[in-house]
Amino acid sequence: MKTKTAFVQGQRHFLKGEYGKSIIGFSGALAAGMDAARIHIPLGLAYFKNHNFSEAAAEFSRALQLEPHNDHLYFLRGMAYGNQGASALALDDFNEAIRLNNRRGAAFVARSLVFRALRRNVAAESDLQSAVELADVEVELFIREYCLAPTLQALAMSLFDVEKSAWGRDLRERRTPLTH
């Protein structure tokens, strides 16, 4: 029962935004013998939200050992690397995420950020165009949830400056409010 209690406490703290306490809860559940497959992802997310990107990447790597074909885990680990400024590692993970699932717009947006950081602007614009075509990414939510490091936030804000971007017209047209 101690295992489940520690896990539930970790979840409660996570939902309250108490990521340090969440890490303690999830780590306690893991130490008490809870199935590692259930712990690595929430523990990685708690580290990520706590701005400990290297530990987040390590937890997502452990989860990938158990689920090697999970495109979302590659995306999450790529975001952890991206927030650390490890562009080459992030790019590898986003490439794999897109190879496994080319219908997830967030992976194209994330890879676009890395391309922009690497000054590969044509590739960055192409990936943004792919994300717009998939129409499944909310820009503000993406930045708030995944671009936690100040340098990545600034890069994302410049990338999403739709008034200046070539793809901005398409995005503005898709954002027109629906009338009922």
The pLDDT tens digits for 25-71 are: 999 999 999 998 899 999 999 999 999 999 999 999 999 999 999 99
Residue 75 neighbours by CB distance under 10 Å: 25
Q: What is the mean pLDDT of residues 101-126?
A: 94
Class of domain 69-180: mainly alpha
**To which CATH superfamily is domain 1-67 assigned?**
Tetratricopeptide repeat domain (1.25.40.10)
Q: What is the mean pLDDT of residues 146-162?
A: 84
Residue 40 neighbours by CB distance under 10 Å: 23
Q: Is 90 exposed, middle or buried (0-12, 13-18, 19+ CB in 10 A)?
A: buried
Q: What is the mean pLDDT of residues 88-100?
A: 98
Residue extents of the structural domains in the chain: 1-67, 69-180
Domains 1-67 and 69-180 share a fold: yes
> What's the pLDDT at 180?
36
Give the pair of three-digit tokens for residue 76. Answer: 């999450």
CA–CA separation, 169 and 55 (whole Å) = 39
How far apart, in Å, are the Cα atoms of 121 and each of 128, 146, 171?
10, 21, 18
> What's the pLDDT at 158?
82
pTM over 0.85: yes
Q: Is the predicted pLDDT of residue 145 greater than 60, yes or no?
A: yes
